[in-house]
């Protein structure tokens, strides 16, 4: 997986999180991850599993395809 894709995905997660008024801590709690992992995903430093992508999408009320669209 390219670093560019991970950076774009992380930026999208951060943008959606902020637009919904969630802290990284709150998102981490909702998806069952630790704060450090969410921070690393948003910075493009961690490659999330498909299971994590699904959890993140659900936390935002989206389908995984919607979360990944246009990346």
CATH code, domain with 52:
1.10.260.40
Contact 49, 9 (CB under 8 A): no
Q: How far is CA 16 from CA 11, 32, in A?
A: 9, 18
CA distance 57 to 53: 6
- The pLDDT of residue 60 is above 70: yes
Question: Can you give the residue range of the structural domain that contains 26?
Answer: 3-68
Tally the domains of the chain.
1
What pLDDT digit, counting tens, does each position of 2-49 carry? 889 999 999 999 999 999 999 999 999 999 999 999 999 999 999 999
Structure tokens, 32: 């069952």
Confidence label for 1 from pLDDT (cuts 50, 70 and 90): low
- Cα–Cα distances (Å) from 7 to 2, 13, 23, 31, 41, in that order, read 9, 10, 19, 20, 8
Q: pTM for this one?
A: 0.94
CA of 68: how far to CAs of 25, 29, in Å? 22, 21
């Amino acid at each position: 997986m390219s670093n560019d894709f991970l950076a774009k995905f992380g930026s999208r997660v951060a943008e959606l999180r902020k637009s919904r008024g969630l802290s990284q801590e709150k998102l981490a709690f909702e998806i069952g991850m630790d704060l450090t992992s969410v921070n690393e995903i948003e910075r493009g430093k961690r490659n999330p599993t498909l299971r994590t992508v699904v959890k993140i999408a659900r936390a935002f009320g989206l389908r995984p395809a919607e979360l990944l669209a246009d990346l």
